[in-house]
């Protein structure tokens, strides 16, 4: 069985992430979407909340599993015996950061963990979780960027003052 890991912060999951997940699920027998539990960052959503939103928004994709991890990605990849990482590329600015990460993961894993890049569909190329959160903080429209259940969850984090 060919499996791949799609790791990320997913704080929160956007239509851009979901586009990558769907396309990856058509290429692999199994895609494990894994949320990084990064103790150094203060996310808007807890790991549990992010996992739940991913579970709900990918429930129609039967070969997609949601998980979480902490520490090094290569250690996680080894622990679940999946040597392929998927990452999405929106623009050249992503590429520099992603290339460095992919090369670092090759070195750390002695060449056993590889990264495959999928280019984000053009309609989502402008989207980012941080952009969505910034718009939401100012009570702007985020319906173009996230599914309704994620939109509701974000709105609860930024309630309008009455």
Residues in touch with ligand PNS (CB under 6 A) = 7-9, 36, 72-73, 101, 104-105
Q: How many Cβ atoms sit within 10 Å of the Cβ of residue 160?
A: 6
Residue 3 known to be catalytic? no
Closest approach, Cβ 144 to ligand PNS, in A, equals 20
> Which residues, in sequence order, are CB contacts of 135 under 8 Å at separation 6+?
141, 142, 145
Residue 25 known to be catalytic? no
Closest approach, Cβ 38 to ligand PNS, in A, equals 7
Considering the complex, state which of residue 9 and residue 25 has its C-beta at the smaller distance from ligand PNS: 9
Residue 41 known to be catalytic? yes
Residue 23 known to be catalytic? no
Considering the complex, state which of residue 56 and residue 94 has its C-beta at the smaller distance from ligand PNS: 94
Contact 46, 36 (CB under 8 A): no
66 three-state secondary structure: strand
Cα 140 from chain centre: 23
Bridge partners of 117? 87
Provide the annotated active-site residues.
Answer: 17, 41, 90, 129
């Amino acid at each position: 069985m060919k499996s791949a890991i799609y790791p990320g912060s997913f704080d929160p999951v956007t239509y851009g992430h979901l586009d990558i997940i769907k396309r990856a699920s058509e290429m692999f027998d199994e895609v494990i979407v894994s949320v990084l539990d990064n103790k150094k960052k203060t996310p808007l959503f807890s790991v549990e909340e992010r996992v739940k939103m991913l579970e709900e928004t990918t429930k129609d994709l039967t070969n997609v599993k949601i998980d979480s991890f902490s520490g090094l990605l290569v250690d996680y990849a080894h622990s679940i015996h999946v040597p392929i990482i998927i990452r999405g590329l929106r623009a050249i600015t992503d590429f520099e950061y992603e290339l460095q990460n992919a090369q670092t993961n090759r070195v750390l894993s002695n060449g056993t963990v590889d990264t495959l890049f999928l280019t984000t569909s053009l309609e989502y190329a402008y989207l980012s979780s941080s952009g969505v959160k910034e718009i939401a903080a100012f009570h702007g429209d985020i319906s173009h960027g996230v599914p309704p259940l994620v939109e509701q969850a974000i709105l609860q984090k930024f309630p309008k003052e009455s």
